[in-house]
Amino acid sequence: MTAATVTAPRVKPGADEGRIGVRANLRHIGALARRNALQIKHDPESMFDAVLMPVIFILLFVYVFGGAMFGKGHQQEYVQYLVPGMMAMMGMNIAMAVGTGVNEDFRKGVMDRFRTMPIARSSVLIAKIVVEVGRMLVAIAILLGMGFLLGLEIKGGILAFLGSIVLSIVFGAALMWIFILLGLAMKTPQAVQGVAMLVLMPLQFGSSIFAKPTSMPGWLEGFTEVNPLSNLADAARALITGDGAVAHPTLVTLGWAVGITAVTMPLAVRKFRDKT
């Protein structure tokens, strides 16, 4: 056999992420994020959860539970308590949608196209998170807008108020890696939603988002103290209202965000690489 007839081995595009530089990786993330944003533009119904959910939930909880929590006619006091806590809830609900979206992309064959492209596998997932963080910002902005209409007051200062938003975004982005991993592991979007709800319900309602832990049984009060959503809700509440400890719940929330990302991000990228 002559040298001319020898065929070089074919290298799978994107298989070796170490050969892709940082600048190229950032370009890939930007292009894929633009692609995901254009999908939302062509399918505006996909924004319904981010736009309508904050409005429906805040109206329901304020006027259904507000009177029971703080007395009839004192719903505005409940707004001060509820809205900062619901910022944590928005992040978790948007994060759940990331998992179903990734699962659907595999089912529709979108990932098969990415497989043939010379891009880092991680850029596909990071671009997904970038766009979902934008959706999360929209949901939080609408939530806060409704809160202001119902009487929410910023008493902790504008910087503290912005800090509560940033903290919610950071924690929500960390949660997305959990649901991406779940979306990669489950076979159908329905399975992802079912398992996600089993996680969401206890964490959301077994927290300080909607009610003060002191009104709960001892065993449940103990659970709320270690629930990361409670720490995020308490931190956001203290930053916005200027009442309560800020440093401890903020540091605990950031610790949870770093820990979740450090554990689940490499697992999600590896699972994604194995599937593609």
pLDDT score of 1 more than 70 = no
At 142, is the pLDDT very low, low, confident or very high (cuts 50, 70, 90)? very high
pLDDT of residue 67: 72
Which strand (E) or helix (H) includes residue 233?
helix 228-241
The 10 Å CB-count burial string (b at 16+, else e) for 83-104 is bbbbbbbbbbbbbbbbbbbbbe
Please report how the helices 189-205 and 228-241 are oriented relative to each other, as an axis angle in degrees rounded to 10: 60
- The per-residue pLDDT of the chain, averaged, comes to 83
Break the chain into its structural domains and give their ranges.
21-275
pTM of the model as a whole: 0.84
The string of pLDDT tens digits covering residues 95-121 is: 888 888 888 877 777 676 766 666 777
The string of pLDDT tens digits covering residues 48-80 is: 878 888 999 899 888 888 777 766 666 788 899
Please tell me the distance from the alpha carbon of residue 89 to that of residue 83, in angstroms, as a whole number. 10
% of the chain beyond a pLDDT of 70: 87
pLDDT of residue 250: 95
Please name the residue that has the structure tokens 């850029």.
123
pLDDT score of 14 more than 90 = no
